[in-house]
Structure formats: structure tokens, C-alpha cells
Structure 1
Amino acid sequence: MLNNFQTTIANEIRFKGKGIHTGLEANVILKPSESNTGIVFVRSDLSNSKKKNRIEAIAPNVSSTYFCTELSNSDGVSVLTVEHLMAALAGARIDNIEVCIDGAEVPIMDGSSIKFIELIDKTGIVNLDKQSKFIKILKPIEIVKDESVARFMPSDKSIIEAEINFEHKEIGRQNIAFEFTPKVFRDQIASARTFGFLSQAEKLNSVGYGLGVNLSNTIVLTEKNIMNYEGLNSKDEFVKHKALDICGDLMLSGYNIIGKYQSVRGGHCLNHKALTSLFKEKDSWKIVDGIDNFFDMETEKLISNTKV
């Protein structure tokens, strides 16, 4: 759906599943929402609590980026692992939605965003009565931490470039660049699954993370091989998943972004720091109204193996 208007889903969407970190099951209802309400998580299991149970999906509410993106409100009520659902909402160009969840973690599903995209496709998307708005990048913003770099650059399109480099022979150095459009996200990025290393499992479990990991929701790597019998969806599935995470993390800006985002050896922490730095530099961006034909279906493409 490529137009000037804000959107929401046509009908409620229901799903359930276990969290990859807590290992606990949660029921989720995605509800249509009005213009200018944005994306809001509602902890329905805390509806009778004295604490606020609504959490706006915006960058200032990011409370942790340790192995996932976690959001919290002023009362300390939180929801974690929001990035894959946020990526799907960004990829589907959904501006307003209420995410009612009766637990502390968004279900991991198959470890990617494709299940969310399929559910959205099934129910449909509707236009609302207000114009969509975008953040347009005006000046470069760069964050450097050790060998990791995150950078916003001006561009007339929404471009994401990512590079990763792991010593593991199944990964190595991978890079990707693409115009972030609904078609490219759905066809090339959404099915890229999360991945992890078996050697880190004990450490993660000891601090309460990774308790829901299995071969149905995670690509698991031993020292030499991939444990999943079905293998990879594509050779560059690893960097594609990093790009998926970027799409979700940047959606916490509250807008779709017109500009280029470059990530080298990045992750949730660096994505959040880059977004926070961008907002601090107020002359580096501006809010613009929806633009007719901003996304040209004929030019939607994925460019792999492009150096960042």
C-alpha cells in the first residue's frame, strides 16, 4: 500500500507463542488504531494493576538492548523482544496499532518476521484520515564503538546497508544493501531468522536469556557447523536478519525514515544509540508529510554484496 495516508490493520489479529528469552507463552491481539496514535504495547495481564500497562513503541522507552530490544514505561512495566514485530509493521507500512499481550515477551514465532507479515496480509491494511509523516535525514550522524559503526546519511529514498563479520566459517563477512520497501522486505528480508552460538547458551541461560531457544526458532551454530537440519534460507541469511533487526529498531523513531542507514558490525545497542543521537541533533532531520509515489514499485530491488 503506497500512498500518503496513515494506516492500520483492517481487523484484529490473534496469535500466541513462546518467548525466545523467557521461554514463556504469551497471547497477542493486534488491534486497529486511530491516526496519530502510533504503535502501543498494552500488557493485558496487568490491566488490574495500579501500574500503567501501556508502553509506547518509541526510542525513549528503550530500557535494554541486551540480546533484544526491550521497552518499558515510567512504572517499569516492560515488554521485550519487540524488534521482529516492529520490523514487520515497518515493512508493511503500518503506522498505528495496539499490541495487547498477556506476558512480558513477544512470541518469537519462527525467529523471523514472516509469520507476522503473513498474518497482516491475511487481514489487510486500511487507510486512515490523516497524512503519513516521515523523518527526512538532512545531515550525517555517525556513532562509532570499537570496530562497530552506525551512520545516518541523507538520501531521497529509504536505504539500509549492513555488514557483519564473524570468524565462523558459515558466516564470515556478509553485506547487503537494499531500498526498504514493502515488497523488498516481504520477499527478501522478512524470512531471515535469528541466529546464535551453542557456545553462548550456558552463559545466556544463567542470566535468564535464551530459555526458549530451539531449532524451530533459531539458527544454532556449533563451533564448525549449523545444527538446523534444513540449513539456511539463503547464504546471506545472517546479514539479512541483522537488516531485519535494523528495520525494527529504527521503527522506534515513530516514523518511517527517508535516508540511508549504514551499519557495520552493529546490533540493537548501536541502532538505539544512533537513533538517540539523531534526535539530539535537531538540525540533522525534519518531519515531512507523505509524498506521492515515494516508493516506485518498478525500482524496488535488493542489491547484495555491496560494501558498506
Structure 2
Amino acid sequence: MFATLGLETTDEAVYREMVESPALGVEEIAARLATSSDRVRACLDKLFELRLIQESFEAPGRFVAVEPAVGLQQLLARQHDELIERQRQIAASHASFVRMLAHTGTRPSDGGGVERLEGMDAVQRRLQELAREAVREVLTFMPGGPQSAAALRAARLNDGHAMDRGVTIRTIGLDGIREDAATLDYARWLTDQGGEFRTAASLPPRMVVVDGASALIPIDPDDTRKGALYLSGPALLAPLTALFDQTWERSAPLGSGPALSGHERALLSYIAQGHTDEFAARQLHISPRTARRTMASIMDRLGARSRFEAGLKAARLSWL
């Protein structure tokens, strides 16, 4: 259950023994798990560091397990903080990469290169060309929150032409666009047309990648009006495509809303603790069928492939 949070199988087994049998000592846990006492003590050290166990108030020197719901929340919160910091570092690295290219740009050659496009008109012309030439996919970072009316009109036009030809469109915006009617309307239009739109708490600078072969990134991430760099060639495009894919996996599908209702939050909390649909349904005074249907809806909105993954993603988005 906790594997994706840094715990190995033995760590989890020790934690489960302490939850289910609080009176057991190190030697007894080792015997039950058919492992050594030293291995159990190493697991206890890790569990204590992760705040999944704590020293007993009644018996100093002994350790007791933290309530699973509380422990899971603490692990998820810690991972969420690490994720946000990692996103900040990625964004900073990407901005440095852009500035380096802006100072060393050259005309594209057969092997790829960098072309400088001065001003927004030149950028829009190149975007239109890329939309016409795209044959497989267009990947876009849309930072900056709510978008201008002109930018949204241009995006609809370019994306519409591309999707008419069967091109896949994937766009990531900031979570804040969910509160902006115009930008949210564009995002819903895109998904209605067969495209995909997700949001994240933070994003690298604006970027458009077409067919993994060409890309546009701003000359100055802090002022996109200055123009953009047109990149081509596998050496430059591979890391940008990888950056997009990593960010996509950490982002939340547009779905029907950015938050959970009280019943949905409670249901997801029970499931994340390892309880069954039937147990959660009894606690919430709903039918098991309703619990399963609600959980399926939550997983779909989060783009989660398992119930535990749904718990992780919901915690990262502060839905729990």
C-alpha cells in the first residue's frame, strides 16, 4: 500500500503488525515475519522517521503505531511538499535552459537548431504553420493563469484545424484557470473536441511541442511579448518532450471540478486506508453500489489507474 511512498514490503509488514497487535515486541514481530530482529529495528527507524510510529506516552521506550489515516495523510503531505519543490526546480532549470538558448541561438540546419522569432506576430505566424503541419500530436504548457481573449481565439483556431486532421492535442494549464470562465470554457471546448486538458499547481514557462520534432519556447519567460525561440532536432526536443510527459503525469484531468464533495472525500479517505467499498458504504450510510460508482467517478476525474493512486493524486491536489 505504501510502496509508492518509499516503504519497502518489510517496512509495511512491520507497520501492519504494530497496528493490528500493539503489544508485540521486536522479537515477536521478527518471529511473525520470519526475519531478524535487526531488520525489524531498521524498519522501526524508518517508520519513526516517517512519523508512522511514535513513542508511547504510557510506556516510555516502546513505540506505538500512528493511526493509519493520520499516518497516510502525513506521508502524502510530505510527498506533496517534495513534489511542489521538484516542480519549482524543474521550472527554474527550464527557464535557465531557455535563456541559454536565447544567447546562443543559430539558424536551424538539417541536424536541428534554434531560430529566434522577434515579436508576437512572428510567433503567431509560426504557430499557425506548426498547426497546419502537425500530423501526430501537439503538447502545450499554458502557464500564467487566465488567458487573454486573443490568445484563446488563436488557440481555438489552431487546435481546431489540427484536431480536424486527427492530431492529438494535450494541454496543461495552471489550477487557477478553473476559476476563470473564459479559459475554462476553452479547456472544456478542447476536451469536447477530443483533446485533453489537465491542470497543475505550477508549470515551467510556456512551451509548444509539435510531433516531437519542433517546439516554441519564449525568448524571455518573464515577458512572452519579446518573441520565441523555434527549436528543431532530436537533441533539443527530447528533454522538452520528457519534461512535458513528467508534468502531465503529475497533473489533474479537467473533470467536472477541482474538488471533492464531503461524501466523496470521506469515501476516498476510507479507501485510501485500505477499507472495502462495503465497509465505507456502511460508515457513510450509502449502498455499496453507490460507493463503487462514486469511487469510479473520482478515479476517472483524477486519471488514476488504481484506488491507492487516486488517494495519492487527491492528496497532492489538497482534495483530502
After TM superposition, the score normalised by the length of structure 1 is 0.21
After TM superposition, the score normalised by the length of structure 2 is 0.21
Q: Which has the higher contact order (CA 8 A, sep 6+)?
A: 1
Larger relative strand fraction: 1
Larger relative helix fraction: 2
